[in-house]
């Protein structure tokens, strides 16, 4: 019997017949049409015949694992937009951040959560929305970098300014959906910017989140509470700051519509140099899961020799301390070479990078990352660095 046109089609990819039957029974009771595949190869065959609205995916399977199926899906424009719910006993930390993965459920399955995730995901697909644009205004480069990468990872389009005049000019060029504003700027404070925005009927409706390291007096605080601005202290720890920003953004989204889809990026050639083979392989596995092509090197000297002829990579990820030639010295050699200086560099270090940053011009290193590596942060930073490189080509 042909499925009703209103029914959504879900492909259950699971090698355990009992688990597959359990999943299909639950989904069909919710009104979905389902089909099962016992591994990645069978799933690809079924997807070629009929594209599913969503896939539930086990990771450990014969012939082709869930991890490799995700790679294949990401490689094709026809399948890279299919949302995936992971249902697996494999720990979440073993799978890198992938824009297609909308949730990760451990076995035994929480069916209430599975149902909620699928309903929300399919509802958002049926009602596409414009990606919100955030104007980030902060004169502190480290805070600006932290927030820009974080917002990018959440799927927002981000533009930035370091001064009040720059912020006002950006707003004239194109009104943002949300304004994230530092109160203390070199040319004017955030209150002056808010006052100017309030004079324009359109700009006065821009939701504003204020960042501050100062204690407001009663007059200033009362002025904010009667306006449209939310207030966050940027002196709190990084994790708390990001949590607060995300919470305020969600409040804005609840008023304006669905949240943005995660940012996606094209495949790139990335070279990784780390003298710890296990660390290098982990980085390779994580970045290959997001569709990039990775080449490993044991130290900086091997990278430098390879750079003497084409092709060159889009991005280098270098450990700071390696035998023969470390990441800092290699970065200096690359940036001083007119033929190589366009290559983006991410440096990994086990020590506080603050004093090291003084040894290189600020634009030589696209990002610094601390070891042990947070792989979710790494995939986000890689996407951000590559997207920024593309916009400057």
| Residue reference for tokens 């639950």 | 26
Which of 109, 126, 143 delimits the end of a domain? Answer: 126
pLDDT given at position 390: 56
Check: CB of residue 322 under 8 Å from CB of residue 349.
no
pLDDT score recorded for residue 389: 62
Same domain, 169 and 233: yes
Q: Say yes or no: 224 and 140 in one domain.
A: yes
Judge whether 172 lies within some domain: yes
Contacts for 72 with CB less than 8 Å, ≥ 6 apart = 40, 44, 64, 79
Q: Are 152 and 158 in contact (CB under 8 A)?
A: yes
Q: Give pLDDT tens digits for 113-122.
A: 888 888 878 8
d(CA 144, CA 380): 15
pLDDT tens digits, 189-236: 777 888 888 888 778 778 888 776 533 343 333 333 333 444 444 444
Per run of 10 residues, the mean pLDDT along the chain (length 393 residues) is 61 93 92 94 94 92 87 86 86 55 82 85 66 83 77 77 91 86 82 82 79 45 39 50 67 53 66 90 85 92 94 94 91 93 92 81 86 79 76 47
| 66 shares its domain with 92 | yes
Point out the domain boundary residue: 204, 222, 256: 256
Same domain, 192 and 215: yes
Q: How many domains does the chain have?
A: 3
- Is 4 a member of any domain? no
How far is it, in rounded angstroms, from Cα 102 to Cα 203? Answer: 34
Does residue 300 belong to any structural domain of this protein? yes
- Residues 187, 161 share a domain: yes
Determine the structural domain holding residue 117 and report its residue range: 9-126
State the pLDDT at residue 376. 72
Q: What pLDDT score was predicted for residue 269?
A: 93
Contact (Cβ atoms closer than 8 angstroms) between residue 318 and residue 348: yes
**Whether residue 349 sits in one domain with residue 290:** yes
Which sign, positive or negative, has the C-alpha torsion 252, 242, 266, 83?
negative
Q: Is the same domain home to 289 and 177?
A: no
Same domain? 108 vs 32: yes
Specify whether 150 is located in the same domain as 245.
yes
Are 138 and 109 within one domain? no
Give the CATH number of the domain where residue 181 resides. 3.40.50.2300
Residue 253 contacts residue 279 (beta carbons within 8 Å): no
């Amino acid at each position: 019997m042909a499925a009703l046109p209103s029914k959504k089609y879900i492909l259950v990819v699971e090698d355990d017949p009992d688990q597959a039957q359990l999943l299909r029974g639950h989904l069909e009771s919710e009104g979905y049409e389902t089909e099962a595949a016992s591994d990645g190869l069978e799933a690809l065959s079924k997807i070629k015949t009929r594209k599913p609205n969503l896939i539930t995916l086990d990771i450990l399977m014969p012939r082709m694992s869930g991890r490799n199926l995700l790679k294949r899906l990401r490689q094709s424009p026809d399948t890279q937009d299919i949302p995936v719910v992971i249902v697996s006993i494999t720990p979440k930390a073993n799978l890198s951040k992938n824009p297609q993965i909308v949730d990760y459920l451990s076995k035994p399955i929480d069916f209430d959560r599975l149902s909620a995730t699928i309903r929300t995901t399919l509802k958002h697909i049926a009602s596409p929305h414009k990606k919100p644009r955030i104007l980030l205004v902060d004169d502190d480069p480290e805070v600006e970098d932290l927030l820009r990468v974080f917002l990018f990872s959440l799927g927002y389009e981000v533009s930035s300014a370091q001064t009040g005049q720059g912020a006002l000019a950006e707003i004239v060029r194109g009104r943002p959906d949300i304004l994230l504003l530092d109160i203390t700027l070199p040319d004017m404070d955030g209150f002056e910017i808010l006052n100017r925005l309030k004079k324009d009927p359109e700009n006065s409706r821009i939701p504003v989140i204020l960042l501050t390291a100062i204690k407001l007096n009663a007059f200033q605080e009362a002025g904010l509470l009667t306006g449209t601005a939310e207030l966050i202290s940027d002196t709190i720890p990084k994790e708390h700051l990001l949590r607060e920003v995300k919470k305020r953004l969600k409040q804005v989204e609840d008023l304006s519509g669905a949240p943005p889809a995660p940012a996606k990026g094209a495949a790139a050639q990335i070279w990784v140099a780390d003298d710890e083979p296990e660390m290098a392989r982990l980085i390779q596995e994580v970045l290959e899961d997001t569709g990039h092509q990775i080449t490993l090197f044991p130290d900086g000297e091997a990278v430098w020799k390879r750079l003497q002829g084409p092709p060159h990579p889009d991005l280098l990820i270098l450990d700071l301390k390696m035998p023969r030639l470390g990441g800092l010295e290699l970065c200096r050699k690359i940036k001083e070479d007119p033929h190589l200086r366009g290559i983006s560099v991410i440096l990994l270090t086990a020590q506080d990078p603050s004093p090291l940053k003084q040894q290189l011009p600020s634009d030589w290193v696209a990002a610094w990352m601390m070891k042990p590596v947070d792989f979710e942060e790494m995939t986000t930073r890689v996407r951000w660095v590559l997207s920024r490189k593309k916009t400057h080509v």
